[in-house]
Amino acid sequence: VQLVESGGGLVQAGGSLRLSCAASGDIGRINDMGWYRQAPGKQRELVATMTTGGITNYADSVKGRFTISRDNAKNTVYLQMNSLKLEDTAVYYCNAEIRRVGRGVFIVYWGQGTQVTVSS
């Protein structure tokens, strides 16, 4: 099982980016999917999560600006980021709680990370 992120890059403050994260491999079922970020010198923090049924949770710092969504048929989670601020600069990681085919437990898998840089 692997998670592959895409969509990061350099954007000016006030701009938008859309991140994607696709899970692949011998996937039996996916529960929660989400996005986290880690800025230089800081701990990794939650950005947004989404359950299979569509219940979302956002960090206060991104509420009203970021939107998480997912396509369960494609095992993909997205993060639409609008009104980006300098402080949104970080490496963004996706994760997913996955039960592999033939296995009985869920394990959290992480993507490799994608850099988002917001410039003034």
- Tell me the HSE value of 35 on the side-chain side, using a 13 A CA sphere: 34
Compute, in degrees rounded to 10, the torsion defined by CA atoms 13, 116, 73, 59.
-70
Q: Which tens digits make up the pLDDT trace of 10-69? A: 999 999 999 999 999 999 999 999 999 999 999 999 999 999 999 999 999 999 999 999
pLDDT at residue 42, rounded to an integer: 96
Task: Please report which helix (H) or strand (E) contains residue 29, including its range.
Answer: strand 27-38
Q: How many other β-carbons are positioned within 10 Å of the β-carbon of residue 57?
A: 14
